[in-house]
Amino acid sequence: MAVLGCIADDFTGASDAASFLVKGGMSVRLYNGIPNHADSLSSDCNNSQEQAIVIALKSRSEERKRAVKDSLNAADFLLDRGVKQIYFKYCSTFDSTPQGNIGPVADALMELTKSHYTLLCPSLPVNGRTVSNGQLMVNGVPLDESPMRNHPLNPMWDCRISKLMEPQSHYPAFTISQAQLTAFSEADFPTTPFYLIPDYRTDTDGERIASLFGRLPLLTGGSGLLEHLARSWEHHLPMSGQIPKSPTKGYALLLAGSCSKATLAQIARYQSDGHPCYKLNPKDMLDGRQTLDDAWKFIESHTAAGESVLVYSSDTPEKVKEFQALGKEAVAECLEHATAWLAKKAVESGYTRIITAGGETSGAVTKKLGFSSYWIGESVAPGVPIMVPSGRPDIRLILKSGNFGQEDFFNHAISITDGGRK
C-alpha cells in the first residue's frame, strides 16, 4: 500500500521525482494523468507493491484555475488510496510566472490537507540547484543571473523564493537557515498558514530537513528531498521496494527535441562517436521536402546493420529563432508530431527501447504511445529513470529533461538497457 503520493506538474518532472523515490528504496508506480478506477487496478504487478504513487499532470503550463482543479483531483485520488503524505513536485528552477502556477496549487493543497505550514524546497544539489539564504542558485549562480533568466515560457526574474511566491500566493514565506532549524518552533510563526524556505545546499541538509519535517501531511519542492523522504519511510513499510530489471531484448530509437546546452552536447558526442544521426528540418518538413517516411527508411536501414539511430530537431538558439519565424506554433506542432509518430512506428515495428531528450518531446511521445502507467526502474542519470509500462514488461522508456544527463548519456542509456537482440 502506498504511503506517499506525489503530484508532478509535468511528465518529465514526474519521472524525475519517481527516480529519486526509487533511489530511496521505494517501489514506485507513475500514472500519466489522474487514473480512472480501471487504470489503477490493472497491472502486471500487484498493487500491494505500490509504496509511492506519482501522478504526472500538465499543470506547469495549464491555465491557473485548471491547474488548481487538476491538482486537487489528483490529491483526492491519492488520499482515497490511503497515502499518508502528499508531495507537490515542481521544477528545481521554480519556473513559475507571477500569476502561478506554483503558488495557487500549493495554497490549494495546503487548504485541502488543513496544513498550518509546509516547505518550499526546490533544491536538487546533484544537478546544481541549491538554496542559500532563501536564494535559489543554479551551479552557484543566482537563478536570475543563470541561463534560465531567458527561459522562453517562464523567464526567471528573481532568485529570492519568497519574492517569487509573493505575487502568486495568499500566504507568507519565511527563510530559515540550517542553524535556525535546530530551534524551530511553530509558535515563532503566524497562527495563519505560512511557508518555510529552508537552506538546502548538500545531501546532509536534505537528510536533516526530511528528519524534521518528514511527517508533514504536505510538502512541496523539487526532487532533491524525495530520496531522503523515501528513506524516512523505510521502517514503516512491510517490505523492501521492488524495481524492474533494466535490460530488455530488442532495438532502440533515440529522439531529441531539446535545445538545451546539455542536450546539444549529448547529440554532438553521439555523432562524434560515429553513430548514425538524422536531423529533422522544420522548414523542409513544412515545405514537404522532408517526410517522416524518409526518416523511417533511414532508421530501418541502420537498425538492420545493428545500429541505434538518433533522430533530432535540436539546434542552436539562432537557428531556433530562424525556424520560429515560420510560425512558432506550426514548427512546434510539426516537430512534436514527427517525434511522436516515429516513436509509435518504432514500437509497432517491434522496437522495445525509446529514449527521448526534452520535456515537450517526451510529452508528445508518451501521449502518442498511450500507456497509462509505468513501473520505475533504476536511473540512467540523476532524475532520469528507466520506465516500464504496466502490461508491457518488454518495453523500456527513458525520458529526460533537456538539461539533465552526462555528455555520453545516449550511449549509456543504450548500454544499460541492452538485453541483446530478439
Burial of 329 (0-12, 13-18, 19+ CB in 10 A): exposed
Domain boundary (205, 236, 267) is at 236
Q: How far apart are alpha carbons 395 and 411 in whole angstroms?
A: 18
Each residue's pLDDT tens digit, 159-201: 999 999 999 999 999 999 988 988 899 889 999 999 999 999 9
Looking at the fold, whether 313 and 190 belong to one and the same domain comes out as no
Percent of the chain exceeding pLDDT 90 equals 74
211 pLDDT band (50/70/90 cuts)?
very high
Domain presence at residue 244: no
The CATH number linked to 347 is: 3.40.980.20
Q: Which of 174-183, 218-227, 235-244 has the lowest mean pLDDT?
A: 235-244
Residue 45 has a pLDDT of: 47
Domain presence at residue 246: no
Q: Which of 46-55, 204-213, 217-226, 353-362 has the lowest mean pLDDT?
A: 46-55
Looking at the fold, whether 60 and 30 belong to one and the same domain comes out as yes
224 pLDDT band (50/70/90 cuts)?
very high
Q: Are 55 and 61 contacting, i.e. CB atoms less than 8 angstroms apart? A: no
The CATH number linked to 56 is: 3.40.50.10840
Looking at the fold, whether 199 and 259 belong to one and the same domain comes out as no
- Helix intervals (H) in 31-101: 37-41, 64-80
Burial of 183 (0-12, 13-18, 19+ CB in 10 A): exposed
Enclosing domain of residue 37: 4-236
Domain presence at residue 64: yes
Top-confidence residue, 61 or 71: 71
Each residue's pLDDT tens digit, 336-347: 999 999 999 999
Dihedral pair phi/psi, residue 77, rounded to 5°: -60, -45
C-alpha cell at 11: 511528465
Question: Quick check: 248 pLDDT over 50?
Answer: yes
Domain presence at residue 245: no
Residue 70 has a pLDDT of: 97
Looking at the fold, whether 18 and 166 belong to one and the same domain comes out as yes
Looking at the fold, whether 46 and 90 belong to one and the same domain comes out as yes
- Helix intervals (H) in 125-169: 161-165
Looking at the fold, whether 63 and 178 belong to one and the same domain comes out as yes
- Least Cα distance to 168 among 116, 94, 114 occurs for 94
Looking at the fold, whether 232 and 269 belong to one and the same domain comes out as no
Domain boundary (173, 201, 236) is at 236
Looking at the fold, whether 268 and 328 belong to one and the same domain comes out as yes
Which residue shows C-alpha cell 543566482?
142
Each residue's pLDDT tens digit, 366-406: 999 999 999 999 999 999 999 999 999 999 999 998 888 99
Looking at the fold, whether 315 and 211 belong to one and the same domain comes out as no
The number of distinct structural domains making up the chain is: 2
41 pLDDT band (50/70/90 cuts)?
low
Residue 202 has a pLDDT of: 95
Looking at the fold, whether 296 and 346 belong to one and the same domain comes out as yes
Domain presence at residue 241: no
Number of helices (H), then strands (E), in the chain: 15, 18
Looking at the fold, whether 90 and 198 belong to one and the same domain comes out as yes
| pLDDT, mean over the chain | 91
Domain boundary (185, 205, 236) is at 236
Looking at the fold, whether 308 and 186 belong to one and the same domain comes out as no
- Helix intervals (H) in 61-150: 64-80, 102-112
Measured distance between the N- and C-terminal CA atoms of the chain, rounded to whole angstroms: 36
Residue 167 has a pLDDT of: 93
Q: How far apart are alpha carbons 17 and 297 in whole angstroms?
A: 36
Q: How many residues does the chain have?
A: 422
Please tell me whether the peptide bond between 101 and the residue prior to it is cis, using omega within 30 degrees of 0.
yes
Domain presence at residue 138: yes
Q: How far apart are alpha carbons 363 and 260 in whole angstroms?
A: 16
